[in-house]
Structure 1
Amino acid sequence: MIGLQWEIIIIAILAAITCAILGVFLVLRKMSMTSDAISHAILPGIAIGFLITGTINSPLLIILAALMGLLTVAMTEAVTSTRLVKEDAATGLVFPALFSIGVILISKYASNIHIDTDSVLLGEIAFAPFDRLVIREIDIGPKSFWVLGTTILLNLLFVLVFFKELKLSTFDSNLAATFGFMPILLNYMLMGLVSITIVSSFEAVGVILVIALLIAPAATSYLLNDNLKNMITLSVIFGIISALAGYWIARWLDASIAGMMATVSGLIFFLVYLLAPGQGLVASVRRRQRQKLEFAQMTLAMHIYNHSDDSENIEERMKGKLGYHLGWSVSYIEKIVKRSQNSGIITVKDDLISITSKGIGFVEAANMLISSKYHPSFQRLRNEFIIFTGN
């Protein structure tokens, strides 16, 4: 028998894992907000399931919730196919209508049980361990252990069996259809599992945290890696970190556990968004600054190259005259000339700038780059100048 504290942590980790597995595909398919729509639209399915069975513990609730998620996707696509409104507007029309029906059903026929809208949206993971699964008077742990564990197995099985089909249909649905992979069917299967994932998690952690765990870890991994398998792995890791850090910070601050987990997942994304080595904001700013300097070097090299045989206008190559010819400030000229010297593109002697053999190759490659043609020197130059990498 493990302690209550660790049961909460395990439930949070299980929720993070089950969401992270599918979240990557939602992010790559640009369907992040669809998860939000489904998370609200499943409410009528839960309410109808309760009205039929009289209990909130029946598997029928999960089945009807999954069907309601598929209905949300189908209705959104049907409205979008009319071309009268765009997909985002169709989503905004469909899920509030379905969610409102669920709220009405619950408030009218299920107001005396704990399946209220606050429970669905916010959840309370601290109470999840008290909902035990007892078989023949034997307590085998919190019900969430088994529900989330089963959902993880379903999601893993789906991804493992259909990984090739999911990968192809995610990046090129037309090609997937050509190969006979039925991308539409795969999409509905994915949305059905997303619905099951949401409904299996909402009572323990709430819809808000489920959405955060579906999207934030996947979006974070997307900034760090472009390999699908690695993205899924990183997404699971970030989800687990969010769950663990969120729990301990919430306990330290005496705050909402689910809310803090969602906050931590957002903070992790924000940090990676800022600091990711390839696609982070800081790296992007530095890359743009470097590109600006390299384009200035290109301009200088072309200017010197074009006047290298012009003995009558030798002042075109004089360092002190560049400000007049190129419109640069003195300090900027010093910066670009020094940078170009360090790169071996030019040499300076008695204020006269000359282009080197490396500089000639640089100019020739630059001309090919401008004309959108490939040049063999690109491979060599791209190690030193990012303007030849296409980034």
Structure 2
Amino acid sequence: MSYSGWILLTATLVGISCGLIGVLLILRRMAMMADAISHTVLLGIVVAYMATRQLSGVHMLIGAVCAGLLTSVLVQWFQSRGVRQEASIGVVFTTLFAIGVVLIATQVGNAHLDVKHTLMGEITFIPWETTAVPLIGEIPEAVLMLAVVLAIALIAILAFYKEWKITSFDPALAVSLGIPAVLMHYVFMSLVSVTTVASFDAVGAIMVVAMLITPASAAYLWTDRLSVMLALGAAFGALSAWIGYGIATWLDTSISGSMAFATGILFAASFLGSPRYGALAKLRRPKAAGRNAGSEAGLSTD
């Protein structure tokens, strides 16, 4: 595959993975948790590096997942003590992220791990860091990790589709039906953490947040069916990657930034043009209702 092909494949995998997970985040009204976890995983990555002095390996994934779960547990704990959800997220996310930044500045030293790389990523380096895969050959490490994470996300969503649906729309009903809503919550937070850290090194925290929230929000405007919403979220995420790469090539600018911008373009198009919840459709409805009312009045007069 060509250099550009690997970049597009990496970004497409990020878009599909984040689009699927993002739909459940939006339905659970936990969009800001995506922002929080995408930043707090930095602490887990730094701690894993300090323990092993290696910048790649499964220990990075484990550290990031632990940081994501710690974020979720602390937010839930503060909420149980009467702190509002948005305040809990703000306190936990800024504190843990700040600890990660301080540890980078004081403990990491000359390793290739910095705040700018964390926020923006560097997808152009992805094709050069390869690993050998049996029957396939040399492929970028990020592609392999993202493919595995996407497979895990798909299996988890398909295997527990009913449970995700009920716990997302009505947690109280889920508990009454014997579904372990708390366990499902932390399993979901683990999926968010794994997806975030798999995308983290390639595209940075900003694009991860954009891909987790915006394609799913666009999909939410098109349908009320969860299955269709999941498919649209994944499709919008992948399409954002392709549109963003085209914009970056055209303007000779940041690839990750352009892809994040492309998610906004798709959301704006959905916000305006969605046949059900789009702004233009809402403007047309009162006029149509007025015409129908006038017709009915004419018929009654006759």
TM range, smaller chain: over 0.9
- C-alpha distance in structure 2 between counterparts of 1:248 and 1:294, whole Å: 44
Q: 1:18 deviation in Å?
A: 1.2
Tell me the secondary structure at the aligned position of residue 224 of structure 1.
coil
Partner of 2:87: 89
- C-alpha distance in structure 2 between counterparts of 1:111 and 1:262, whole Å: 30
Q: Report the AA paired with residue 36 of structure 1.
A: D
Asked whether the equivalents of residues 17 and 236 of structure 1 are also in contact (C-alpha less than 8 Å), the reply is yes
1:182 pairs with 174, 180, 183, which one? 180
Pick the structure with more helix per residue.
Answer: 2
Partner of 2:207: 209
- C-alpha distance in structure 2 between counterparts of 1:277 and 1:17, whole Å: 24
Q: 1:56 deviation in Å?
A: 1.2
Q: Deviations over 1:289-340 (max 9, x none)?
A: 545x379x5xxxxxxxxxxxxxxxxxxxxxxxxxxxxxxxxxxxxxxxxxx3
Q: 1:345 deviation in Å?
A: 2.5
Partner of 1:161: 159
Partner of 2:242: 244
Indicate the percent of aligned positions where both proteins have the same amino acid.
Answer: 38
- C-alpha distance in structure 2 between counterparts of 1:280 and 1:199, whole Å: 33
Partner of 2:66: 67
**Within-5 A mapping of 1:267-286:** 267-286=265-284
Looking at CA atoms only, which structure, 1 or 2, has the larger radius of gyration?
A: 1
Q: How many residues align?
A: 301
Partner of 2:107: 109
Tell me the secondary structure at the aligned position of residue 113 of structure 2.
coil
Tell me the secondary structure at the aligned position of residue 278 of structure 1.
coil
Q: Deviations over 1:93-152 (max 9, x none)?
A: 11100000111111111131111111111001111111111479x962110111000100
Q: 1:237 deviation in Å?
A: 1.0
Q: Report the AA paired with residue 225 of structure 2.
A: N
Tell me the secondary structure at the aligned position of residue 42 of structure 1.
helix
Asked whether the equivalents of residues 17 and 195 of structure 2 are also in contact (C-alpha less than 8 Å), the reply is yes
Partner of 1:37: 36
1:345 pairs with 275, 297, 301, which one? 297
Aligned-residue Cα RMSD (Å) equals: 1.8
Tell me the secondary structure at the aligned position of residue 141 of structure 1.
strand
Asked whether the equivalents of residues 132 and 139 of structure 1 are also in contact (C-alpha less than 8 Å), the reply is no
Q: 1:355 deviation in Å?
A: 2.6
**Within-5 A mapping of 1:1-391:** 2-83=1-82, 85-134=83-132, 140-291=138-289, 293=290, 297=293, 340=294, 343-346=295-298, 355-356=301-302
- C-alpha distance in structure 2 between counterparts of 1:11 and 1:344, whole Å: 57
Tell me the secondary structure at the aligned position of residue 147 of structure 1.
helix
- C-alpha distance in structure 2 between counterparts of 1:118 and 1:289, whole Å: 51
- C-alpha distance in structure 2 between counterparts of 1:129 and 1:179, whole Å: 48
Q: Deviations over 1:223-262 (max 9, x none)?
A: 0111111111111111111111111121111011110011
Tell me the secondary structure at the aligned position of residue 345 of structure 1.
helix
What 5-or-longer segments of structure 2 have no aligned partner? Answer: none
Partner of 1:303: none
Q: 1:288 deviation in Å?
A: 3.7
Q: Select the structure with the greater relative contact order (CA < 8 A; seq sep ≥ 6).
A: 2
Tell me the secondary structure at the aligned position of residue 109 of structure 2.
coil
Q: 1:344 deviation in Å?
A: 4.7
- C-alpha distance in structure 1 between counterparts of 2:279 and 2:158, whole Å: 34
Q: 1:21 deviation in Å?
A: 1.5
- C-alpha distance in structure 1 between counterparts of 2:73 and 2:205, whole Å: 21
Q: Deviations over 1:32-58 (max 9, x none)?
A: 111000111111111110011110112
Inter-CA distance 344–90: structure 2 relative to 1 (3 Å threshold): closer
- C-alpha distance in structure 2 between counterparts of 1:59 and 1:133, whole Å: 14
Inter-CA distance 355–225: structure 2 relative to 1 (3 Å threshold): same
- C-alpha distance in structure 2 between counterparts of 1:238 and 1:135, whole Å: 29
